[in-house]
Structure 1
Amino acid sequence: MGNSQATPTRSHVPVPSTSKDSGQKNHISSLAGILEEMRRSLGNVKHVLHVERLDLFRCSLAFLKNEEFNNSPIQVIMSTNGQKEDVLNSGGPNREYFSLLLKEFLRKELDIFEGHTAGRNLLPTNNEKALSQKYYYLVGKSIVLSFLNGGPGFPYLAPCVVSYIKGEEYMDHLNISIVYNTLLRHFIRRINCARKEEELLSILEDDSERFVDNCGWPRNEMITMKNRLELTQILLKWELIGKRVAALDQLRSGLHVLDFLNRAKHMPDFNKILITSNVEKVTAGYLKTHLKKAVMEMKDVNPSETAAKQYALVCLKMLTDEEATHLFHFITGMSELPVEELPLEVEFNRTNPKSQLPEALTCIQCLRIPLGNETQVQFISSFKTAISLGRYGFSRRESNSLK
């Protein structure tokens, strides 16, 4: 065995939809409805696909690269060591095949994706060999064909990747927690932890990896304490999207097979195909554990910072589970816990010491404690404002404090 074969045979799949059916396409309101309409539009000649289990990926390449099979239903026949598995195919073998195929694309040897070991928030690598072999296109196409055959999706991609593929704004989804390059993560955190211009300059001079030179920062523009967050955003945009554009565009092209992406991307449940939905909610206990240590480690150098530190600890002690979810969203831009451990940072707002309201840098999960409140009551009130309103978008900019 070892090679895929596609043999035409007659199928009981319904004939292509009529023009009347096609005219109703715009009225389909669910992903299931779109898939059903796509199945009806397939041809009436079925292709038999012979696949050797022990060589599944290589067996699949010829089939996936042949565009003539895009518009035809298939029947998968699996073999093990050349021995055909004689089973009645009522859909099960097709679903199993696509389940195995999509997992093949995750193999480290292929080096198509990178990310954390939990297999979530994955990013396509900038792999020239994979690009030349059109592997990213084949991933996208396999996802479409899997769904047409009742198989699984590919819920492993980072939200910023999915937003880019859909043609949506993705900047709000850029987050240091999904940066796989540990050197860059450390570099970004050092930039945002710098207290003085001299310290920031020293950090930039230590950039042996030349991150700043490669990310697209204007060569004639100085990096200062005031614009360092802009540098952080550019670094994240370059690392998570910019250097992967060729792979992302190829993946998007694969998802366009049978016009699937255009038909389905606006459906409410589309993202579930490509993004893991972690329903584990943030609790008060979780946030207290993660924030209390960070608050305790802050070094207060004057009475207003000492007071703000104590007020923050009081706020944490009073936190309810519902408030914890909203505060977590305020700090990170997420309402649910990610799969990977997410470090939270806390610092005094020394940039704007008169501010009475907390601020958050969502791209590095950093909460800025206000120093402008004279009493504990005022301080707690400011956090109540962040908890109640922060989830509506106040925490997206460094200079954007709640008002």
Structure 2
Amino acid sequence: MPIIFSRFFNLAIGVVLFLFPLLILTVKGSYNFIATLMLLLGLGFCGVNRKSIRFDREDYIFFGTLLAYPIVLLLAVLVQGGKWTALDYPWRVLAVIPIALMVKGVSRPAQCATNWIWGWQAGAIVTGVGALIYMHWLGWWRVGSHITNEIPYGQIAAILALGAFLFARFYRTYLWLLLSCLAGLGGIYALAASGSRGAWLAFIAAVIFFLVQLLIANRRHLVIACVLTLACGYALNFSTFVQSRLEAIHADVNAYNHGNADTSTGVRLDLWRLSAEIAKEHPLFGAGPGHFKEALAPKLGEKPFLANFAHAHSQYFDTLANAGFIGLAGLLVSFLAPLVLFWGRLRSNQRLERVFALQGCGLIIVSMVACLTQPLYAHNISVIFYFICLSVCWGFSSANAVPAHRLEGGME
């Protein structure tokens, strides 16, 4: 490949890696265009380097287990019947392969990783500033509808906040640490402003996970992290907004116990209960992907308001109802196997690999916990963000496994 074209290609990769996390929660619809560019670059890279691309054993496991869920859904459609459109979002996982291979094989991984990290930190800060403007200057009660639904907005903000803190380990300077903390706080503010309770739970679960990881790695760092966590918790305890959301949960549970299920929490509890009943009737492959509303209709009884919901408000219960226990097993494999692979790379002696393995763990943990109260595959922005971030984390955490004969000026 000519050097001038190779340098242009590397520049294009760096630009899209910078822009994707920067614009995801600031410019509506930007993720579609940038993700398409990233996929085209990945396909181009794989086409040019098709003879030199190498899959190792972990690549086969990673890509194979990610395909477990869409393959099981395909089987459910063929065996049980269902809507082919229900396969759209899960099968977008195929985009992970060329993008991850591109990131893994790029000639200057450290430079491209720096672009992604700077875009991530800038995106978290800009998102926090935007949420501050919407809340305090425009008087919004919840932030997120200017980009997408408030729930996926909060989930992505939680991942941005967590990643911003984790990227503090990329550079070992006090200025970078300060910038990372500022970015993390921006993400946390956007998370709080979204009013997404499930995203808060996911963020806290991920923080606990990494506190345990710090305990294993360095007890001194754990003490610092615990002090900071307690300080943040103490501050949040006096936040009127957070308190109002906790009081809303308590009120919803009380109403549900007194027979009123027409609340945010009550609706979820009833949808989960009815999803379990559907799975009991169709244990292997469920009612068929995309048939949730049809299977739910005969069970509504005196709660017709539940007919407005096209999913179970939980990825796990939704999968259980639509694809049965086999579908649920495929979903869990698609989460847990990549998590184990990323966890194994935390012991790498290369900082680039460790940092992105850490982010990969955080991405999956937040997504898994958030799936308790909201399906991952219900929103286009959630699916694209998850798969793009997964591709980048896998690629950069594998970057040092690529043979050293790559051209310094570009691709071979």
- Please report the TM-score for the alignment, with normalisation by the length of structure 2: 0.23
TM-score with structure 1 setting the length = 0.24
Greater share of helix? 2
- The structure with the largest alpha-carbon Rg is 1
Q: Which has the higher contact order (CA 8 A, sep 6+)?
A: 2
Higher strand share: 1
